[in-house]
Amino acid sequence: MTGLQWDWTMVWESLPDLLIKFVEVTLLVTILGSIIAAVLGLIIAVARRSAPRPIAAVLTFVVNFIRMTPIVVQLLFAYYLFLDLDPVTIGVIIFGIHYATYMAEVYRAGIEAVPDGQWEATTALSMSRGRTWTAVVIPQALRSTIPALGNYVISMFKDTPFLIAITVTEMVRAALVFGGNHFTYIEAITTAGVIFLIASYPTSLLIGRLEKRLAFSN
């Protein structure tokens, strides 16, 4: 039993490996996945509002289906369907699609918060529908959505260890491998958890502050 005591040398030994994986996989997937989710989410939100009713209904069902089923199963599904694709790429795409369904709800609320008068004004000015969205509605809707989107980014960040299911060596898997090689899991797994905490907690504090500021100035 080497693991009964906390051994700092194990922390320092595992740290470089964990940090490399943190940057190479965890951060990379979070950033790319967030970009896909933010863009796709906006497309879904606008489509649900402006598409013909049957198409919007189908879209709503698909979005709910994705939201209500586990991301791990979705990752595995895509992994086995596209075996020749790189697992990290699959991770980015699935995280992007999964979180797009959440972000679409955030955008929806933001779009609904834009006063009706704004729509009426664009009609009075005989603006095209496309210009109404891009020049009037979306800029106003986006402002109030930023904090909520940020929370989903943090949530995605904490979900990245699910990539273990599709054989990606991200930070937590690296910690498990280290633990297996050194016959002690305490330090490496705890260090991985602390890295998550150090990265996510200040970010969520910042988002909370942003939320208050945007709420007050509205």
Instruction: Name the site residues for other proteins (rule: CB under 8 A).
Output: 1, 3-4, 65, 67-74, 76-77, 80-81, 158-162, 164-165, 172, 175-176, 179, 184-186, 189-190, 192-194, 196-197, 200-201, 204
The nearest distance, CB 217 to other proteins, in angstroms, is 22
In the complex with other proteins, the residue whose CB is nearer, 119 or 185, is 185
For residues 49 and 67, which CB has a smaller minimum distance to other proteins in the complex?
67
Helix 186-217 / helix 171-182 crossing angle, nearest 10 deg = 160
**Least distance in angstroms from the C-beta of 200 to other proteins:** 5
Considering the complex, state which of residue 15 and residue 136 has its C-beta at the smaller distance from other proteins.
15
DSSP string covering 12-63: HHHHHHHHHHIIIIIIHHHHHHHHHHHHHHHHHHHHHHHS-HHHHHHHHHHH
* Residue 29: count of CB within 10 angstroms of its CB: 24
150 Cβ contact partners less than 8 Å away, ≥ 6 residues apart = 203, 207, 210
* Smallest distance, other proteins to C-beta of residue 190, A: 7
Residue 76 CB, nearest approach to other proteins (Å): 7
Is the distance from CB of 99 to CB of 41 less than 8 angstroms? Answer: yes
- Name the residue nearer to other proteins (CB basis): 122 or 160: 160
Classify residue 210 as left (phi > 0), alpha (psi -120 to 50) or beta: alpha
Give the chain's radius of gyration (CA, Å): 21
Name the residue nearer to other proteins (CB basis): 26 or 132: 26
Min CB(68)–other proteins separation in Å: 4
